[in-house]
Amino acid sequence: MLAQTERLGDLIEDMARVAPQGAEAKEAQHALCDVLDQASALTRSLLVYGRRDKTEGAASEVDALVRESMAVAASVVGPELELDSSLSSGRAQVGLEPEQVRQMLLNLVGNAADATHGVGSRVTISTRLEQVDTARARRHRSQPGEFVVLTVADDGRGMDQRTLAQVFDPFFTTKDDARGTGLGLAMCHSLVERAGGFIAVDSTPGEGSQFHMYLPIVAAGTAVSAPHRGGSEQPEEQGGTRKASGGGQARILVVDDMAAIRKLLVKALRSVGYQVTDAADVASATQILTTQPVDLLIADANLPDGSGVVLARSARDAQPELKLMLMSGAPESGQGFDATLVTPFQLDDFCEVVSSVLPPPTAPG
């Protein structure tokens, strides 16, 4: 978040330097306020990790949420790997909100995909019901009873005992390309514990890993939180309507989860004649890529529901002529892209790199 704030600060300085004051200045101020709001949201997320109180009144059907999340999970995994599911917990409910279940699921799927690319071929999501006896429950500081077991398994690199011993430690990560924060599994562990459950991990180097989330079933009378679609912002469209393809206009899709940064980048590109659509996450971007013509995909490396790198490479597999530009703090992660812009960056640098990849349309006479 600090890096994103610094990045937005650079862009606001550029806007103040090149744009007239008044409305533009107010827009920059609003953008900065948006980032501060998101910083507050991150702080709240860290507090969620630190809390150990039980979740009260929350209930979700795990199988329904997994089915709903499969399309997003597939985009996270990418076309190089197979994604399978085997769901058998029926309508059993667990004591977490739907968004919490989705967050844990997609985090584990993303980790499994990272560990499997170049080594294995498959990621599997499964659910089952299991009775946990008193002795096992006591070992995990839980209560005996019937549990939904949500498992994410892969046939990737696996982990040794030293890594297993640290896997849930805050800020511990095995990723070496600046993508890992080390908070994902720690937050999964915290949420499962708050629901009264526990996580078991089986892993062998060279054979893959299986993460089993044991979630106690809540009482049948508990009000169930229904699966909720959406959450990402709708793409902005120029003038409120979508222009037809053709006519010599260069079409760009900008994907960044930071709304304030995305808005500034879109405005800068439109000011020089590009036709621009934007998205906040992998799922929204995938929908646009499959329904609208795009000449250049500009993606941030880290997105809330997956990897921008995987998104871009998957898109090029489907559209070989598509040009790709990555925004990342790790330039080596942009191998195979037409351009990589190291963050934080200046707005002038951004526009220059874009124009080198996709020349802007000729300004109307």
Q: Provide DSSP, 201-266.
A: EEEETTTEEEEEEEEEBPPTTSPPPPP----SPPPP-GGGSPPPS-TT--EEEEE-S-HHHHHHHH
In terms of C-beta density within 10 A (0-12 exposed, 13-18 middle, 19 or more buried), how is residue 44 classed?
exposed
Tokens linked to 49: 């990790």
DSSP H helices, the chain, are: 2-18, 23-50, 62-77, 98-116, 134-139, 161-166, 184-194, 259-271, 282-291, 308-318, 347-357
Distances (CA, A) of 234 to 209, 257, 269, 277: 36, 12, 18, 10
For residues 213 and 101, the answer to whether their CB atoms sit within 8 Å is no
Q: What are phi and psi of 305, to 5 degrees?
A: -115, 20
pLDDT over 70 percentage in the chain: 70
Q: Which residues pair with 81 in a beta bridge?
A: none
Mean pLDDT of 180-197: 76
At residue 247, the pLDDT reads 37
Over 70: is that where the pLDDT of 173 sits? no
CB 171 within 8 A of CB 182: yes
Confidence of residue 314 (pLDDT cuts 50, 70, 90): confident
Q: Beta strands 145-154 and 198-204: pairing type?
A: unpaired
Let me know: does 82 contact 122? Beta carbons within 8 Å. Answer: yes
pLDDT tens-place string over residues 242-265: 333 333 468 999 999 888 888 889
Q: Which residue in 303, 250, 247, 104 sits closest to 185, CA to CA? A: 104
Q: What average pLDDT does the segment 69-91 reach? A: 90
What is the residue extent of each domain of the chain?
A: 55-216, 231-357
Whether the per-residue pLDDT at 2 is higher than 50: the answer is no
Main-chain phi, psi angles of 60, to 5 degrees: -145, 145
pLDDT the model gives residue 29: 59
Superfamily of domain 231-357: Response regulator (3.40.50.2300)
Mean local confidence (pLDDT), 131-156:
93
Above 90 in pLDDT, residue 59?
no
**pLDDT value for 75:** 84
Residue 360's pLDDT is: 84
**Regarding predicted confidence, which is higher, 126 or 243?**
126
From the number of C-beta atoms within 10 Å of its C-beta (0-12, 13-18, 19+), residue 264 rates as buried
**Residue-level pLDDT at 181:** 46
Per-residue pLDDT band for 178 (boundaries 50, 70, 90) equals very low
Position with higher pLDDT, 50 vs 123: 123
pLDDT greater at residue 241 or residue 305: 305
Calculate the average pLDDT of the chain: 78
Residue 71's pLDDT band, with cuts at 50, 70 and 90, is: confident
Q: Mean per-residue pLDDT for 48-53? A: 47
User: Residue 303: how many CB atoms within 10 A of its CB?
Assistant: 26
Which residue would you say has higher pLDDT here, 202 or 23? 202
pLDDT recorded at residue 9: 56
Residue 349 is predicted with a pLDDT of: 86
227 upstream amide cis, omega within 30 of 0? no
Residue 193 has pLDDT above 70, yes or no: yes
User: Taking a C-beta distance cutoff of 8 angstroms, is the pair 326, 334 a contact?
Assistant: yes
**pLDDT for res 219:** 75
> Is pLDDT of 15 > 60?
no
Could you tell me the end-to-end alpha-carbon distance of the chain, in angstroms, rounded to an integer? 43
**Do residues 44 and 64 lie in contact, with contact meaning Cβ atoms separated by under 8 Å?**
no
Provide the pLDDT confidence category of residue 99 given band limits of 50, 70 and 90.
confident
Q: What is the pTM of this model?
A: 0.51
pLDDT in tens, 349-360: 899 999 999 998
Q: Are 151 and 135 in contact (CB under 8 A)?
A: no
Taking 70 as the threshold, does the pLDDT of residue 61 lie above it? yes
The CATH number of the structural domain formed by 55-216 is 3.30.565.10
184 touches 154 (CB < 8 A): no
Cβ–Cβ under 8 Å, residues 340 and 355: no
Topology match between the domains 55-216 and 231-357: no
Closest by Cα among 350, 322, 262, 358 to 312 = 322
